[in-house]
Chain A
Amino acid sequence: MTSSPFSSPLAFFDTLRAEDEIAWLGQVFVPPQGFEAMRGMRSVIVFGEEGSGKTALRLRLIEAARETPGTAAPLIVEWQAGVQEEAEGEAFVRRFVEEILDLAAQSLAVHLVRQPERFTQAARFAQEGMVWLIHQYLRTDKELFLLRLESEESAEGAALLGEILSRTPKMLVPPHAPYPRQVTEVVRTLDAAGLSGLWVMIDGLDAWLTLEAAALSRSLTALFSSLAVFDVPGFTVKVMAPLRMKSLISAATGLTRRRFEIFELTWPAEALRHLCERRLALACGKDSFRLEELSEDAGLLTWLAKYGGSSPRGWLEFLRPFVDAYLVQTEQGPLTPEATADLQRRFPPRLRMDAALQKVFLGHFPVSGLSESSLNLLRYLYMHPDRACDKQELYYRGLRGLDHQPRSTEDSAWELPDTVEGIMDTALWRLRQALEPNPKQPVYVVSERGKGIVRLENVW
């Protein structure tokens, strides 16, 4: 039976952020198509939608590289793009390269503190290389760095690092040497330290999507220009990038020159089901768990596939209320079809519109077949999420797109209230037909009975 690291099984469905799941991610991870090729020595860019598991993939690639038996692991450094000022030009290249080499020096130091014999048993030239690398590229305050490691690691390892930091390094490569030359020396030094090259894992590029288009393009150009200087044997780059950047990256990078292999994270329904079941099994402390054990309703799978889309996060989010209900039952057993349907009503997929307010989604499911007038109506409600609107307002401002609501017959746009009422009843009926899972029991376009007002609910 699988052991659970949490007191509450629901914790496995809590944040759904891979960063919070490192301790047990390996037990629930389902390798996407191409995983074996991605974990190779080649540089790759993996494109994926939000929630498609890019971070989980990055973390598993790191673990897989470290776990490969019988062979040396690479030194792995992680670089997070993060929100920042626009990156451009040679200044960015210099800053980026220095950051990467600083991270490499820190990681090597930690590696040697944990495995001092990698240094003490190495050839003399290899020792010189390691001393040089740490002195040359460590930007962090060396004294503080050592103090931190002294408190966290073994005394023997920390003493070795202290000794390394006190040495005068030989200048193996001049500081002004071209970056590819410096990086070559770094990689060879790592080889001599028993590591198989250097991997740089790049993630967090989603944050750059907040940049305006031209700035984003310049930033990506700068980033991939920087990566070109690392185009040396033994240096591998694994980039996790949002799918929306695919065309920009191909345009910005000269990828034909820089030798990346391209992957796109796609998840067939069967793989997503497997992914859910593995997590359920871990949560319930079982070796395996089938969705049929969660609910007797075979429609649950269809519901997940429809609203969860093709992303792991989508499926797991929609699964959460069912897991919750399953676990609080007094008598263990699958949820009944009635209970399942009730949960589907109580936890419907959230409605959202895209940034241009043109497309409508229920969860990950793109709603199609909305007429122009339905879309206008929905758009108006969506833009006023915190209040109910009466039918007059909805008609004039939402449906007709006026900037005001006529108050008297003197206004040329004014129409008889009964006419407006009739038109709006029909318009709302059409909207619900297109939108609601059950138009008779609407969960999105909800009327307040007797008040003649309408509000949008279950909105993202």
Chain B
Amino acid sequence: MAATPETQTAVGVRLSSLGFAFNPFERLEASNDPYISGYLIGHDMFSVAWETAPAALFAPPGGGKTAMRIYTLRACWKSESKYRKFPISYDLPFFANLSELASLEAHQTAIAAAAATDVLLACAYRPDLYLSLTVPKRLNLLSLLRVALPVSLEYILSILAESGDVGQLSDYLDRTYRLPDPPPPEAAAGLGKVMLQDLEDAAGDLWSGPAQFEALLDFIREDLRFESTLLLLDGVDGGNLPPGDVQAQFDVIAPLLSQASVWAKANVFLKAFLPADLEVHLAAQARDFYRQSLRAQIQWDVPKLAEILRRRVYVASQGRFGSLDALSSPALRHVETLIAERARPLPREAIMLANLVLQCYLAREGYLEPEDIQKAEQQYLTRSIFPD
């Protein structure tokens, strides 16, 4: 088991002795979690994200927006349907300064950066996508990536060529982008070298920002042969806008909402994962989009939250056990359900309380007991800064 900072602390050593490779509840934030792809679970509202139509999915902070965005991305790559969907993760703060996103053109430049990121990562995880292209198409793609990618393409390719680790590429470009069955290191390194070599022949700066966007969409449709593109919008409340300024958030995404129906005709579907507070603004100020798009609120009940917790236990214990019940005294059963019942009905809240339960348990010897849950619940309520 690899040493990580958390497994080396006193608590970490204990976790390790119990069979955990890492603390299943350490990370609250999907976008920050290298293991997230392992413990995503489905949700009824996923169908809204999956349909070939513009859609808005609303949830409060910690309500699973990013997790569902990542789930949708992976579903695109896992799907065996002949109707292939190419996912573009448009996590706003990583592609533009939010205060500068006042126009569609600004968004198109930023989306081009997001599309370039996902096309490159797709090629890295599925080398055949690139290697099966004709040389002119490869050069066309590389010249596009060179101008659109938000970081130096040469640098990124040199990482791939030297390390052969597509996970490292994800770390640099989008940590949440982890596809199943990555290529072996030699294949990934080989791809990196081929791309670096091709790059020497690729043309220079041929496209403006909005033109990059159109060219990348064309490439996805014509050369990679995906029938549609899902534009997964996220991070609207994650940038440096004034905290709580929902109108400012709306103003940032308004150009996208206006354009959604035009894009839909070209099989590009906006999937907006939005803070719950934004819904009234959409209803009042983006009436056409609100009326014409699919909409859903991502809501969670106790069984679903308990499933999230169990899934994390399963992944962190590398399949050794599927519930904290395995650590519990006979008096305690259905631990995840007990935790989910006590937390606010949001994944982040349930994970936070579960972490406290685990910390209380790890602070002493013996089985996990009902007292650990009570103590954790007290701490959970004390530490909360929620007004309720």
A residues engaging B (CB < 8 A)? 34, 36-37, 39-42, 65, 68-72, 74, 90, 93, 123-125, 128-129, 170-174, 177-181, 184-185, 188, 191, 196, 221, 224-226, 228-229, 231-233, 246, 249-250, 252-257, 259, 261-264
CB within 8 A of B62: which of A171, A253, A256? Answer: A256
User: How far apart are the CA atoms of A249 and B293 in the complex, in Å?
Assistant: 37
Number of A-B residue pairs, CB cutoff 8 Å, is 147
Q: Is the beta-carbon distance between B95 and A254 smaller than 8 angstroms?
A: no
User: How far apart are the CA atoms of A68 and B10 in the complex, in Å?
Assistant: 10
CB within 8 A of B152: which of A71, A170, A178, A253? Answer: A170
Given known A68-B8, A196-B5, A262-B385, contact A257–B93 (CB-CB < 8 A) = no
Q: Is the beta-carbon distance between A224 and B383 smaller than 8 angstroms?
A: no
Q: Is the beta-carbon distance between B94 and A229 smaller than 8 angstroms?
A: no
Q: Mark B356-386, 1 if CB is under 8 A from A, else 0.
A: 0001000100000000000000000011111
Give 18 new A-B contacts, CB below 8 A, not counting A228-B243, A231-B32, A254-B237.
Answer: A36-B11, A37-B359, A40-B5, A41-B6, A65-B5, A123-B162, A123-B163, A128-B158, A181-B150, A185-B151, A188-B171, A225-B240, A231-B31, A232-B32, A246-B385, A256-B386, A257-B237, A259-B348
Kindly list chain B residues whose C-beta atoms are within 8 Å of the C-beta of A129. Answer: 155
Nearest CB to that of B349 among chain A residues? A256
Q: Is the beta-carbon distance between B158 and A125 smaller than 8 angstroms?
A: yes
CB within 8 A of B240: which of A191, A229, A264? Answer: A229
Kindly list chain A residues whose C-beta atoms are within 8 Å of the C-beta of B158. Answer: 124-125, 128
B28 interface residue (CB < 8 Å to A): yes
Q: Is the beta-carbon distance between A252 and B243 smaller than 8 angstroms?
A: yes
Kindly list chain A residues whose C-beta atoms are within 8 Å of the C-beta of B96. Answer: 178
User: How far apart are the CA atoms of A332 and B238 in the complex, in Å?
Assistant: 63
Given known A173-B151, A185-B172, contact A71–B3 (CB-CB < 8 A) = yes
Kindly list chain B residues whose C-beta atoms are within 8 Å of the C-beta of A172. Answer: 151-152, 155
B60 interface residue (CB < 8 Å to A): yes
Kindly list chain A residues whose C-beta atoms are within 8 Å of the C-beta of B151. Answer: 172-173, 177, 181, 185
User: How far apart are the CA atoms of A259 and B158 in the complex, in Å?
Assistant: 33
Given known A178-B97, A257-B61, contact A173–B352 (CB-CB < 8 A) = no
B218 interface residue (CB < 8 Å to A): no
CB within 8 A of B9: which of A36, A93, A252, A262? Answer: A36
User: How far apart are the CA atoms of A6 and B20 in the complex, in Å?
Assistant: 45
Nearest CB to that of B346 among chain A residues? A256
Kindly list chain A residues whose C-beta atoms are within 8 Å of the C-beta of B7. Answer: 71
User: How far apart are the CA atoms of A279 and B62 in the complex, in Å?
Assistant: 43
12 inter-chain pairs at a CB distance below 8 angstroms, sorted by A residue, are A37-B355, A40-B23, A42-B28, A72-B5, A170-B154, A177-B150, A191-B171, A229-B239, A231-B32, A254-B243, A255-B385, A259-B29
User: How far apart are the CA atoms of A319 and B246 in the complex, in Å?
Assistant: 53
Instruction: Give the number of chain B interface residues (Cβ < 8 Å).
Output: 57
Q: Is the beta-carbon distance between B383 and A261 smaller than 8 angstroms?
A: yes
User: How far apart are the CA atoms of A129 and B154 in the complex, in Å?
Assistant: 12
Q: Mark B155-185, 1 if CB is under 8 A from A, else 0.
A: 1001100110000000110010000000000
User: How far apart are the CA atoms of A175 and B248 in the complex, in Å?
Assistant: 25
Nearest CB to that of B98 among chain A residues? A178
* Chain A nearest Cβ from B387, distance in angstroms: 8
Q: Is the beta-carbon distance between A228 and B239 smaller than 8 angstroms?
A: yes
Given known A191-B171, A224-B243, A262-B384, contact A233–B31 (CB-CB < 8 A) = yes
B242 interface residue (CB < 8 Å to A): yes
Chain A to chain B: the 4 pairs with minimum beta-carbon distance, closest first: A254-B243, A250-B385, A256-B61, A262-B383
Given known A178-B96, A233-B31, A233-B34, contact A41–B5 (CB-CB < 8 A) = yes
User: How far apart are the CA atoms of A174 and B149 in the complex, in Å?
Assistant: 10
Given known A36-B11, A255-B385, contact A173–B150 (CB-CB < 8 A) = yes
Q: Is the beta-carbon distance between A171 and B152 smaller than 8 angstroms?
A: yes
Kindly list chain A residues whose C-beta atoms are within 8 Å of the C-beta of B62. Answer: 256
Q: Is the beta-carbon distance between A257 and B152 smaller than 8 angstroms?
A: no
Given known A172-B151, A221-B242, A229-B93, contact A70–B3 (CB-CB < 8 A) = yes
User: How far apart are the CA atoms of A118 and B33 in the complex, in Å?
Assistant: 26
Q: Is the beta-carbon distance between A178 and B60 smaller than 8 angstroms?
A: no
Q: Is the beta-carbon distance between A36 and B172 smaller than 8 angstroms?
A: no
B4 interface residue (CB < 8 Å to A): yes
* Chain B nearest Cβ from A294, distance in angstroms: 30
Q: Is the beta-carbon distance between A221 and B243 smaller than 8 angstroms?
A: yes
Kindly list chain B residues whose C-beta atoms are within 8 Å of the C-beta of A196. Answer: 5
CB within 8 A of A264: which of B23, B239, B382? Answer: B382
CB within 8 A of A233: which of B23, B32, B97, B152? Answer: B32
Q: Is the beta-carbon distance between B60 and A256 smaller than 8 angstroms?
A: yes
Kindly list chain B residues whose C-beta atoms are within 8 Å of the C-beta of A252. Answer: 243
Kindly list chain A residues whose C-beta atoms are within 8 Å of the C-beta of B29. Answer: 231, 259
User: How far apart are the CA atoms of A179 and B238 in the complex, in Å?
Assistant: 12
Kindly list chain B residues whose C-beta atoms are within 8 Å of the C-beta of A40. Answer: 5-6, 9, 23, 26
Interface residues of B in 17-39 (CB under 8 A from A): 23, 26-29, 31-34
Q: Is the beta-carbon distance between B5 and A257 smaller than 8 angstroms?
A: no
Kindly list chain A residues whose C-beta atoms are within 8 Å of the C-beta of B34. Answer: 233
Q: Is the beta-carbon distance between A39 and B385 smaller than 8 angstroms?
A: no
* Chain B nearest Cβ from A175, distance in angstroms: 12
* Chain A nearest Cβ from B153, distance in angstroms: 10
* Chain B nearest Cβ from A230, distance in angstroms: 10
Q: Mark B238-277, 1 if CB is under 8 A from A, else 0.
A: 1111111000000000000000000000000000000000
